[in-house]
Amino acid sequence: MLSFITSYCKLYARFLWGLNSFLKNKLSLDECQKTIQARMRNRENLFLQFMKKGIYENEGNPYLKLLNIYNIGFKDIRGYVMKSGVEGSLKWLRDKGVYITLDEFKCRVPIIRKGEIFKFQEVDFDNPFLLNYVRTMTGGTRGRATRTKIDLDFLTNTAMHEALMFEVCNKNSAPRIVWIPCMPLHTGLVPLRYCKLARPPSNWYSQIDPSGANIKGLDFKTKIIAFLIHNAPRVLGIKCPLPEYLGFNNADIIAKKIEENINRFSGCIVFTFASSALKICLAAKEKKINIKGVWFITCGEPLTTKKKQIIESMGAAAISAYYFTEFGLIGCGCGNASEYADDMHLFNDHVAIIQRKRDIKGSGIFVDAFLFTSLLPSSPKIMLNVENGDYGIIKRKNCGCKMDQYGYLDHIADINSFEKLTSEGMTFLGADLARIIEEVLPQRFGGGSTDYQLVEEEVNGKTILNILAHPRLGALSENDIIAAFKNEIKKRNPKAINLLLNIWSQAGTLNVKRQEPLSTPQAKIYPVHILRKK
């Protein structure tokens, strides 16, 4: 026990000591651009180095066992890369059976290939070569949270891509406001990356009370390391604010801060969730606050067409940022997006992405799921053709925005989760239901897209679907809301759904509740929310 504590203390002491160099050695935009352009030129070699060290010389990792089943050696990989490139090689491996589904990656189910059964733990996917890291947790929004290592080199890499993202906004020198939770730890690291770029946030508002005593479920060591990380810039003389609690009902405070920054600096960037950006715009409209000229960089949930339209109606702009903990920043919004609200450039100097057609169990629906592969040695997880639970569109094109000059020609768009919402044996895709919640109900009954939510929960073994309608909407007919909801889902598959609707009516499956929509532990509000049984 004593040796474990000693090892743990050394690990975090090394990380905190490394922060000194991390924060003092700032990244310039020119340095970021040169590093990324060099990676793009050397991309095939980066992939081969990743395969050699991360997999073939990393005994016991899950991918090596899969490769051995199919008798695929490193020479085979190298030969295929020379012939077909990185993505061509990954598709070849996928077709052989070398890929990891989301359930396999989360270790919910064993990996079964060619009659062989492998059971792994989450740590088996960890990058064993990281030195200066802390352990954090993924959000766990769509399932059990995953423990992940975050390395200082990884933070540097993410900061480089964020520097290019700010260039898309033409606001690299504008004040930056952060409105996301200060916990879990990976979200609390955002201001550190801004400090690395010599642009610490002017204001950091947390959607969760940063007082350690009020953050349930966090152990003492996590609270201590979070406190040290939040204060590290100030100790080194960097003017970086500490997180200040600001709940959803105080969005007008941020709107006023935006107005001040625009009047003083002719610009402002706000980093927040898409639904939070919408709340700011609605508060600004209600209070008659001018936020024209602000750029919202939205993360954590899809930037839908409806959200973007409302944001732009206030004279603001919004682009998506596609993050997940195991990779950092996957892509950022295109400066010339037209077809899709969430059209993004893929940062394929550090990640490769292909697709695999897979079925959504029990639905008869197939989607093109994303498969991700890490290319850099600083990645928290070793990932080779791994699902993250999302699907969407991949398209190569010249769009004319600043990202073209770096060779970022691959676009990803229309991104949704293929995690299912199931009731009485029927599966629905979140994208279909989200449109009803965000567009149809507000148009019919008033309010905005964050005033309604579909919640699935289990009550005494029975699956219940509740449509939440915010109390501030006033008097509403619950029967009319249910009828409107049913009419819309009928449009998807009338023959299959009519039977289901009859079952719902008899079982009392679908209900309306007058309450404020629920947020996740990370303060995200999804149009479809699943309350998982603990």
What CATH number should be reported for the domain holding residue 457?
A: 3.30.300
- Does residue 307 fall inside a structural domain? yes
Using DSSP, state whether 469 is helix, strand or coil: strand
Sequence-distant (6+) residues with CB within 8 A of 59 are none
Residue 422 and residue 500: Cα distance in Å, rounded?
Answer: 11
- Looking at the structure, do residues 173 and 235 belong to the same domain, yes or no? yes
Using the 3D structure, point to which of 301, 322, 351 is the last residue of a domain: 351
Q: What's the domain range around 153?
A: 133-351
Tens-binned pLDDT, residue by residue, of the chain (534 aa):
455 445 556 656 677 777 888 888 999 999 999 999 999 999 999 999 999 999 999 888 999 999 999 999 999 999 999 999 999 999 999 999 999 998 899 888 999 998 899 999 888 998 888 766 666 654 444 444 455 677 888 889 999 999 999 888 776 678 999 998 776 566 778 888 999 999 999 999 988 776 654 455 556 666 777 777 788 888 888 888 888 888 878 899 999 999 999 999 888 999 998 888 988 998 999 999 999 999 999 988 788 888 898 899 999 999 999 988 778 899 999 988 888 989 999 999 999 999 999 876 644 568 899 999 999 988 888 999 999 888 999 999 998 888 888 889 999 998 887 765 555 444 455 556 788 888 899 999 999 888 999 887 766 545 678 899 999 999 999 989 988 988 887 776 554 455 456 556 655 678 899 999 988 766 777 787 766 443
- Does residue 2 fall inside a structural domain? no
- Looking at the structure, do residues 427 and 337 belong to the same domain, yes or no? no
Using the 3D structure, point to which of 351, 366, 383 is the last residue of a domain: 351
- Does residue 225 fall inside a structural domain? yes
CATH code where residue 328 lies: 3.40.50
Mutual angle of helices 2-24 and 152-168, in 10-degree steps: 30
- Looking at the structure, do residues 207 and 141 belong to the same domain, yes or no? yes
CB 36 within 8 Å of CB 173: no
Using the 3D structure, point to which of 295, 328, 351 is the last residue of a domain: 351
- Does residue 223 fall inside a structural domain? yes
- Does residue 106 fall inside a structural domain? no
- Looking at the structure, do residues 215 and 292 belong to the same domain, yes or no? yes
- Does residue 298 fall inside a structural domain? yes
- Does residue 516 fall inside a structural domain? yes
Residue 60 and residue 534: Cα distance in Å, rounded?
Answer: 32
Largest CA distance in the chain: 69
Reference 46, options 331, 349, 345; nearest CA is 349
- Looking at the structure, do residues 333 and 444 belong to the same domain, yes or no? no
- Does residue 271 fall inside a structural domain? yes
